[in-house]
Amino acid sequence: ETGVTQSPTHLIKTRGQQVTLRCSSQSGHNTVSWYQQALGQGPQFIFQYYREEENGRGNFPPRFSGLQFPNYSSELNVNALELDDSALYLCASSVGLAGGSYEQFFGPGTRLTVL
Amino acid sequence: DAKTTQPNSMESNEEEPVHLPCNHSTISGTDYIHWYRQLPSQGPEYVIHGLTSNVNNRMASLAIAEDRKSSTLILHRATLRDAAVYYCILGGSNYKLTFGKGTLLTVNP
Q: Which of A38-52, A82-96, B94-108 is least confident?
A: B94-108
- B29 interfaces chain A, CB cutoff of 8 Å: no
Q: What is the mean pLDDT of residues A22-46?
A: 92
Q: List, for residues B40-66, the tens digit of each pLDDT value.
A: 889 999 999 999 999 999 999 999 999
Question: Best of A10, A102, A110, A111 to disrupt the B interface by mutation (most B CBs within 10 Å)?
Answer: A102
- B55 interfaces chain A, CB cutoff of 8 Å: no
**CA separation (Å) from B98 to A29, B51, B76?**
21, 16, 26
Round the average pLDDT of chain B to a whole number and report it: 92
- Are residues B97 and A42, on separate chains, in Cβ contact within 8 Å? no
- Are residues B91 and A100, on separate chains, in Cβ contact within 8 Å? yes
Q: List, for residues A74-115, the tens digit of each pLDDT value.
A: 999 999 999 999 999 999 998 876 666 788 899 999 999 999
Pairing label, strands A110-114, B45-50: unpaired
Q: What is the signed CA dihedral for B49, B50, B55, B61, rounded to 10 degrees? A: 40
Contacts of B12 (CB under 8 A, 6+ apart): B18, B75, B78, B105, B106, B107, B108
Q: List, for residues B20-47, the tens digit of each pLDDT value.
A: 999 999 898 888 999 999 998 899 999 9
Residue A1 has pLDDT above 60, yes or no: no
Pairing label, strands B55-56, B61-64: antiparallel
In A, residues 8-67, which contact B (CB 8 Å cutoff)? Answer: 33, 35, 41-45, 48, 55-56, 58
- Are residues A43 and B44, on separate chains, in Cβ contact within 8 Å? yes
Within 8 A of B97 by CB-CB distance, chain A residues are 33, 45, 98-99, 104
Which pLDDT score, from 0 to 100, does residue B1 have? 60
Which is higher by pLDDT, A1 or B85? Answer: B85
Phi-psi region of A28 (alpha: psi -120 to 50; beta: other; left: phi over 0): left
Closest to A103 (Cβ–Cβ): which among B46, B100, B101? B46
Which is higher by pLDDT, A70 or A85? Answer: A85
Residue B2 has pLDDT above 70, yes or no: no
